Chain A
């Protein structure tokens, strides 16, 4: 019975109990059970050594020798194991050698591993190969490994080192192949995890062992456990503990170097971006409180925590900036550019205003000026500070300061395109055209391919010509014409419609017409040169420039110039050209001189052109719709007309059907959607398929249930669409600060008021923000945004015959 139980315990790995059983048997029948008892005691010694119970092992060894009379030579292996466990290196080597020579494959591999780590002579080829590996001497490494036989106990090291070499030579497949053949349970098999492929893995899909071994490989072992703990706390929302886990890990944290600890420090500095509003608040609260604690008072801590607060939006607190600066200087040394940049960031924050009234804007710029001047003082070579200061002077109309600063900039940054461009613009604004153009020419020398500089030069040449024409004398007219000659040479290689030579001639002819009278005028000559332009478009352009230039030349004549009423056939192609011209004019003239009347005129023109729509016009209609979408704030009615018109002609056109759905209140049925998709596939209309997918996506989003955040903002009970629209209508005309005050007066907290204020701008009568109505009391039907992200891309030239 005792024997049976002892054998079972031995088989089950309960060695100590098994030994106790055999001890009792030995006491009962010493001659029968002596050998078995000795054998089990030796097993128990090995077990005790592996458990670190070296005293127990010593006692049993002495017992075997002294009490049972076992020959000490028979116990040599146990003695070696014990000496090895007690730190005797020569004993370890001896043990490893004995294991290497044993018949057990597992022991042989273990012995080989131990000998490699000990740098023993038997492992010399492997150690030599390691030396070459660490020096990136690949062929020498291969030569060294030639000395390791395929059937040798070190063969797995040969595989491992080849895998390592492949990894360091960016041959991931070969490395993976080598590592996959390593025998389990060996050191190489365990360490191969460090060389795993990281590409394509994310935080949730990699084994922890890989992370740990990698940390060991890069010499940051302490980071391994700390990262796991920190990750656990972070994902549970325990941010303070997550930071503390890193801080108290024994790793060098926070670290400001290129290291794993440095990367994690960088993460904590800017972690607020990954958190929602509530969580961010808790994280920043911890950062603020930690700064005052003794355990977080190193300069590196100060640097990280202060940056956390700054990044989280605490721009205004001077003390935090000061702590940040001190922390940075203590850890990275002094840097004038860093100080200047900090001042510029603070100045920029002064210009982020809740209220955008003129008084507040001016106050913001006045505050910013002090910081920008301090930035320039800290680092006189920091150009962005000058540019921002220049802008503040412009807003505050500090002309003399601005001019002085411009002179200073042109001296300090004589070859900077940005400074020269700013100087050029400033001169043009104050009508110093020649000086401005000189600056712009220098800017072009600094950046010959820069389109912005070229556009500014063209604007400068026109402004200069207008200035000469305004003086009203023949010599000045000649100078104006010289400017136009230069302007023609500046025509871009791929001009927008408003920048073509023909349009320049039309513009020139208008100035001749307005400024030069009688036979001297070259009006007709110039107009003849613009002969390529359709007469309707030409009249439109002329009328536009008459209105645009007349006030500059003869202020009072502006109103007396009548709007042109073109005669003859109106086509959509002409309307498209006019539209392009107008859009270009809005861009190049910086929005000046565009009046609603022009838009009304064009809208009427398009309406008149619609009856002429033919199937050939489809490409034009698509292009027109795209441009109209870009400027939809001017047009609210017209796109629907265009869509209706086209659908009368081709009621199954899938693209226009999708656009039709976008512009009506009713959702299409599934049957209609399927039919339209089939039609698009039949016609090979990729644009329609894209538009349909985008429309359905918006529809799904709009139908989504109310989010928790919105519920928190608008109350659990929610509000109907009508109520929400009414509230938006009340809030929309107000300035942001006024909205917040109003909402706080209605009982909302400041935080809620800020959020509501920010969503009001997106809440138009045609497009309520998704999820706004209560889930309980939903409105009739959620309406997709009339112009969603489903903007059609440029028409496929293979699909349409575009006229341009």
Chain B
């Protein structure tokens, strides 16, 4: 799991911004209607909610629970899956995508 991708925050955001992003994400994916999404959001928040947790993850590479990524494409898939609320790209980027 890529917790930053799930919560739509950057590596440099502080704990308060991350908390706010977490609350917004939970509002969008409440446990009653999207239990799987809610679990992903909770896991993501646990991994990066404090600066110590973020740094520990950076050095130790913790992903989530006992998940172990076994190959580059698995890592990529996890990155895509982590994005629960994909946002449309900018117009120019969308045309670049269509032309590619």
Real binding pair: yes
Contact with B along A415-457 (1 / 0, CB 8 A): 0000000000000000000000000000000000000000000
Given contacts A167-B86, A235-B71, contact A227 B76 (CB under 8 A): yes
* With A219-B96, A231-B73: A134-B52 Cβ-Cβ less than 8 Å: no
Whether A307 sits at the interface, judged by CB under 8 Å, is yes
List residues of A (216-234) whose CB comes within 8 Å of B's CBs.
216-219, 221, 223, 227-228, 230-231, 234
Partner pick for A227 among B4, B72, B78, B89, CB 8 A cutoff: B72
Pick the residue among B2, B55, B59, B77 that contacts A258 (CB under 8 A). Answer: B2
Q: Are A246 and B72 in contact (CB under 8 A)?
A: yes
Query: Is A198's CB within 8 Å of the partner chain B?
Result: yes
Q: Judge if B16 is at the interface, Cβ distance under 8 Å.
A: no
Are B75 and A267 in touch, CB under 8 angstroms?
yes
Partner among A130, A234, A310, A342 whose Cβ is within 8 Å of the Cβ of B72 = A234
A130-B94, A131-B91, A266-B61 are contacts. A341–B55 as well, Cβ < 8 Å? yes
A274–B58 Cα gap in the complex (Å)? 17
By a CB distance below 8 angstroms, the chain A residues around B81 are 198-199, 201
If A246-B72, A345-B59 touch, does A202 touch B98 (CB 8 Å cutoff)?
Answer: no
B51 to chain A minimum Cβ distance, whole angstroms, is 6
The 6 closest A-B pairs by CB, nearest first: A270-B61, A267-B75, A263-B79, A216-B100, A134-B91, A258-B4
- Which B residues lie at the A interface, using CB under 8 A? 2, 4-5, 9-11, 28, 36, 51-52, 55-56, 58-61, 68-81, 84-91, 93-100
CB–CB B71/A217 < 8 A: no
| Nearest A-chain residue to B7, judged by Cβ | A258
Which residues of B lie under 8 Å from residue A234 when comparing CB positions?
71-72
Q: How far is the CA of A556 from the CA of B61 in the complex (A)?
A: 56
Contacts of B51 in A (CB 8 A): 337
Whether A168 and B87, one on each chain, are in contact in the complex, defined by CB atoms closer than 8 angstroms, is: yes
The answer to whether A134 and B72 touch (CB under 8 A), given A256-B11, A384-B52, is no
* Chain B binding surface, main DSSP class: helix
How far is it, in angstroms, between the C-alpha of A191 and the C-alpha of B94 when the chains are bound?
11
Residues of A within 8 A of B10 (CB): 257-258
Mark contacts of A120-132 with chain B using CB atoms, 8 A cut-off: 1 yes-contact digit, 0 otherwise: 0000000000110
**For residue B98, which residues in chain A have a CB less than 8 angstroms away from its CB?**
116-117, 187, 191
CB pair A117–B99 under 8 Å, yes or no, is yes
What separation, in Å, do the CA atoms of A206 and B96 have in the docked complex? 24
Mask, A188-224, CB within 8 Å of B = 1, is 0001001000110111001000010010111101010
A332 within 8 A of B: yes
Residues from chain B with Cβ under 8 Å of A130 in the complex? 91, 94-95
Q: Considering only CB atoms and an 8 Å cut-off, how many residues of chain A contact the other chain?
A: 62
Whole-angstrom CA separation of A397 from B79 in the bound complex: 49
A763 proximal to B (CB < 8 A): no
Nearest CB on B from A309, distance (A): 12
- The reply to whether A202 and B94 form a contact with Cβ atoms under 8 Å apart is no
Q: Enumerate chain B residues within 8 angstroms of A345, measured Cβ to Cβ.
A: 59
Report the Cα distance A122→B52, complex, angstroms.
56
| Distance between B52 CB and nearest chain A CB, rounded to angstroms | 7
Q: How far is the CA of A257 from the CA of B88 in the complex (A)?
A: 19
Please tell me if the beta carbons of A164 and B97 are within 8 angstroms of each other in the complex: no
Chain B residues whose C-beta falls within 8 Å of the C-beta of A258 in the assembled complex: 2, 4-5, 9-11
B87 and A263 within 8 A (CB)? no
Name the B residues within 8 Å of A187 (CB-CB).
98
- Chain B residues with Cβ below 8 Å from A164 are 88
Q: Is A749 close to B, CB under 8 A? A: no
Residue of chain B at shortest CB distance from A263? B79
In the complex, how many angstroms separate the beta carbon of A179 from the nearest chain B beta carbon? Answer: 15
Taking the complex as formed, is A264 at the interface, i.e. its CB lies under 8 A from any CB of chain B? yes
Q: Are B80 and A134 in contact (CB under 8 A)?
A: no
**How far does the alpha carbon of A170 sit from the alpha carbon of B28 in the complex, in Å?**
10
The smallest C-beta distance from B11 to any residue of chain A, in angstroms, reads 6
Among residues 255 to 308 in chain A, which have CB atoms less than 8 Å away from a CB atom of chain B? 256-258, 260, 263-264, 266-271, 273-274, 307
Q: Does A153 have its Cβ within 8 Å of any Cβ on chain B?
A: no
Q: For chain A, what secondary structure do more than half of its interface residues adopt (helix, strand, loop), or is it mixed?
A: helix
Tell me if A219 and B73 are in contact (CB < 8 A): no
Which chain A residues (622-644) contact chain B, with CB distance < 8 Å? none
A227–B94 alpha-carbon span in the complex (Å) = 22
22 A–B contacts from the bound complex (CB under 8 Å) = A116-B98, A133-B94, A168-B87, A198-B77, A203-B70, A203-B74, A206-B77, A216-B97, A218-B89, A219-B93, A221-B100, A223-B76, A227-B72, A227-B73, A227-B76, A234-B71, A257-B11, A263-B5, A274-B71, A311-B61, A338-B58, A341-B52
Provide the residues of chain B in CB contact with A274, threshold 8 Å: 68-71
| Residues of B contacting A117 in the complex (Cβ-Cβ under 8 angstroms) | 95, 98-99
Interface residues of A (CB under 8 A from B): 116-117, 130-131, 133-136, 164, 167-168, 170, 187, 191, 194, 198-199, 201-203, 206, 211, 214, 216-219, 221, 223, 227-228, 230-231, 234-235, 242, 246, 256-258, 260, 263-264, 266-271, 273-274, 307, 310-311, 332, 335, 337-338, 341-342, 345, 384
Contacts of B71 in A (CB 8 A): 203, 231, 234-235, 274
Most chain A CB within 10 A, of B71, B72, B74, B78, is at B72
Decide: B93 and A263 in contact? CB cutoff 8 A.
Answer: no
CB contacts (< 8 Å) of A257 on chain B: these are 10-11
A173 to B9, CA, bound (A): 27
Q: In the complex, are the beta carbons of A263 and B61 less than 8 A apart?
A: no
Given contacts A264-B72, A345-B59, 15 further A-B contacts (CB under 8 A): A117-B99, A170-B28, A191-B97, A198-B77, A199-B36, A218-B89, A219-B93, A219-B97, A221-B100, A266-B2, A270-B60, A270-B61, A271-B69, A337-B51, A337-B55
Q: Which residues of A contact B77 (CB under 8 A)?
A: 198, 201-203, 206
A341 CB contact (under 8 Å) in B56, B76, B100: B56
**A335 to chain B: which residues have CB within 8 Å?**
55
**Chain A residue with Cβ nearest B29:** A170
In the bound complex, do residue B76 and residue A307 qualify as a contact, i.e. CB atoms below 8 Å apart?
no
Q: A274 CA to B51 CA in the complex, in Å?
A: 26
Q: Which residues of A contact B9 (CB under 8 A)?
A: 258
Residues of A within 8 A of B97 (CB): 191, 194, 216-217, 219
CB distance from A516 to the nearest CB of B (A): 50
Question: In the complex, are the beta carbons of A231 and B72 less than 8 A apart?
Answer: yes
A134 touching B2 by the CB < 8 A rule? no
Bound Cα distance from A682 to B8, whole angstroms: 54
What is the CB-to-nearest-CB distance from B4 to chain A, in angstroms, rounded to a whole number?
4
Q: Give the shortest distance, in Å, between B22 (CB) and chain A (any CB).
A: 15
Whether the pair A211, B73 counts as a contact (CB closer than 8 A) is yes
Q: Is the CB of A264 within 8 A of B76?
A: yes
B-side contacts of A223, CB under 8 Å:
76
Q: Identify the closest chain A residue to B78 (Cβ).
A: A263
- Looking at the assembled complex, report how far the CB atom of B97 sits from the nearest CB atom of chain A, in whole angstroms: 5
- CA gap between A332 and B55 in the complex, in Å: 12
B59 touches A307 (CB 8 A): yes
Find out whether the CB atom of A202 lies under 8 angstroms from the CB atom of B88: no
Chain B proximity of A593: nearest CB distance (Å): 37
Cα of A384 to Cα of B50 in the assembled complex, Å:
14
What B residues does A206 contact at CB under 8 A? Answer: 77
Residues of A within 8 A of B70 (CB): 203, 274
Q: B87 to A230, Cβ gap below 8 A?
A: no
Q: Which residues of B contact A217 (CB under 8 A)?
A: 89, 97
